[in-house]
Amino acid sequence: MMTRLKWLVPTLYIIFLMLPIYWLVSMSFKTTNEILGSFTLWPQNFTLENYYTIFTDPTWYNGYINSIIYVSINTVLSVAVALPAAYAFSRYRFLGDKHLFFWLLTNRMAPAAVFALPFFQLYSAIGIFDTHLAVALAHTLFNIPLAVWILEGFMSGVPKQLDETAYVDGYSFPAFFVKIFVPTIAAGIGVAAFFCFMFSWVELLLAKTLTAVAAKPIAATMTKTASSSGYELGLLAAAGTLTIIPGAIVIYFVRNYIAKGFALGRV
């Protein structure tokens, strides 16, 4: 009895997850008149006008481009510096290694609200305020610890004999690392990159604080629309719908590794 109805639990949960998303998507295809005038479960006068506005207005589509640029810089940077560090943590003992690991993780706990103002001052002082690099650098604060944590877990799962055999075969360390080790933990790198992408893509407070015009993220454009021009719900819904798409694509590619990534990481 219980086992036969088991499928009901995930099904109901997924329906619960999809309802608000459905409402957002359906609203993005409605005209403003329909949204404000009547309560309809699906669009009666189907329109693409909201999407047309977004794809033709530079303030809108530049927001997407900016977001994608700084998220990419952040992901590449975080994973690139996390790789050697994670290797060191998984293979060697050195002075202060455990304290260093814990200190890295404490940065994951730092509230963004605490860092917003100091970041603004720091990045203004060194002259990179309102650049993609500023946001990418700021996001490394919580993404590097996470990437090191995940990669260390994956690397600890690779037996040390692999390293030793390679040295016996005459590989130098850099050659071994690039040609043998990195391909071996490709799945781990994928998972780490996924989480870096995810946390950089969804964060807004720091991204908004560190940009003004040139590198303004899509999320900031949205909040401005919501507050300034009364309530353009259809447009807001269309912009929101478009922000779901990159994430959905990324999830599809890493679906088999997502769960594994956290499970292998060391607490």
How many of the chain's residues bind another protein (CB under 8 A)? Answer: 97
Range 93-100 contact pairs with CB under 8 angstroms and sequence separation of 24 or more: none
- Interface residue with another protein among 60, 64, 70, 87 (CB under 8 A) is 87
Q: What is the dihedral of CA 199, 242, 24, 250, to 10 degrees?
A: -50
Helix (H, G, I), strand (E, B) or coil at 45: coil
CA distance linking residue 112 with residue 206, whole number of Å: 7
Binding test (CB under 8 A) with another protein, winner from 10, 58, 127, 183: 10
Q: Name, in order, each residue with C-beta under 8 angstroms of 224's C-beta and a sequence gap of 6 or more.
A: none
Please report whether residue 198 would count as binding another protein according to CB under 8 A.
yes
Q: What is the DSSP string of 192-255?
A: HHHHHHHHHHH--HHHHHT-SSTT--HHHHHHHHHHHSS--HHHHHHHHHHHHHHHHHHHHHHT
129 binds another protein (CB under 8 A): no
Interface residue with another protein among 33, 36, 59, 162 (CB under 8 A) is 36
Q: What is the chain's Cα-based Rg? A: 23
Q: In the stretch 37-76, what mask flags binding to another protein with x, by CB under 8 A? A: --x-x-----------------------------------
Among residues 9, 98, 99, 169, the one that binds another protein under rule CB under 8 A: 9
Q: How far is the CB of 214 from another protein (least distance, A)?
A: 20
End-to-end CA separation in angstroms for the chain: 38
Judge contact between 83 and 175, C-beta under 8 A: no
Residue 137 as a binder of another protein (CB under 8 A): the answer is yes
Question: Is residue 179 a contact point for another protein (CB under 8 A)?
Answer: no
- Please list every residue from 200 through 229 that binds another protein, using CB under 8 A: 201-205, 209, 218-219, 222-223, 226
CB closer to another protein out of 48 and 259: 259
Q: Does 35 bind another protein (CB under 8 A)?
A: yes
Choose which of 54, 73, 82, 196 interacts with another protein (CB under 8 A): 82
| Chosen residue from 68, 69, 122, 128 binding another protein by CB under 8 A | 122
